[in-house]
Amino acid sequence: MKIIVVKDDKQGGQAACELFKKELEQKDDAVFGLATGSTPISTYEALVHSNLDFNSSISINLDEYVGLSSNHPQSYNYYMQEHLFRYKPFRESYLPNGGATDEEREISRYNAILEKNPIDLQLLGIGRNGHIGFNEPGTDFDLKTHKVELTESTIAANARFFNNSQDVPRYAYSMGIGSILKSKNIILEAFGNSKAEAIKNMIEGPVTQQCPASVLQRHPNVTVILDEEAAQKLKE
């Protein structure tokens, strides 16, 4: 892993933006795997204010809540429109359909998209429990897209985005760890004290399903972008 320690999330977003730029310089029709949540916002802000053009590129998102329509304000489809797509459109942008009535068919559809469009650069965050995407502790490393029952800690972390805790979705579709590992290059970002323990376990701990992100130790091209708080428990 290549580890980049920056002052804050704004600098982290700029560092990630440079890696997006490098990918586009090599391949203008690159396929980008995208993440949601609070962590990548600074990256999307940097991309929006850059001169990068994604009109020839494809984006594929990691996950989506089950039961939320694409126009729901807390859906990840809506998030992507607000933070990136309305300013930087892609040739094609794929997200799981949270409102799909046939769940198995939706999972098959998404796996087919990933097979047809191998990801060149995958952007990831990390949960406090070490999850990537919605691949919670205990998830098989070989899984492809699947329906996930969210843990109570993940539900609690997401509750701040909803008016009522009862409205927080309990399930999500997520790109599987097996699919993530097929990406040619991976960026993982983490900012703040709350991510320090997960980062330590990911980088310096054993590769274990109890910290799903630890499997990235086995990938040949991972760049980890951390602020000083997230990096504070690392030995080096």
6: CB partners within 8 A, 6+ apart: 12, 15, 225, 226, 227, 228
Query: Looking at residue 35, what DSSP letter applies?
Result: -
Q: Among the options 106, 120, 136, 227, which is catalytic? A: 136
130: left (phi over 0), alpha (psi -120 to 50) or beta: left
User: How many Cα atoms within 13 Å fall on the side-chain side of residue 100?
Assistant: 20
- Is 129 in the active site? yes
- Is 63 in the active site? yes
Q: What is d(CA 13, CA 68) in angstroms, rounded to the nearest whole number?
A: 28
User: DSSP labels for 75-120?
Assistant: SHHHHHIIIIITTS--SEEE---TT-S-HHHHHHHHHHHHHHS--S
Q: What's the start-to-end Cα distance of the chain, in Å?
A: 13
Q: Among the options 131, 135, 146, 189, which is catalytic? A: 131
Q: Among the options 63, 106, 120, 189, which is catalytic? A: 63
Q: Which two tokens stand for residue 42?
A: 């600074």
Q: Among the options 129, 135, 185, 201, which is catalytic? A: 129
List residues with catalytic annotation. Answer: 63, 129, 131, 136
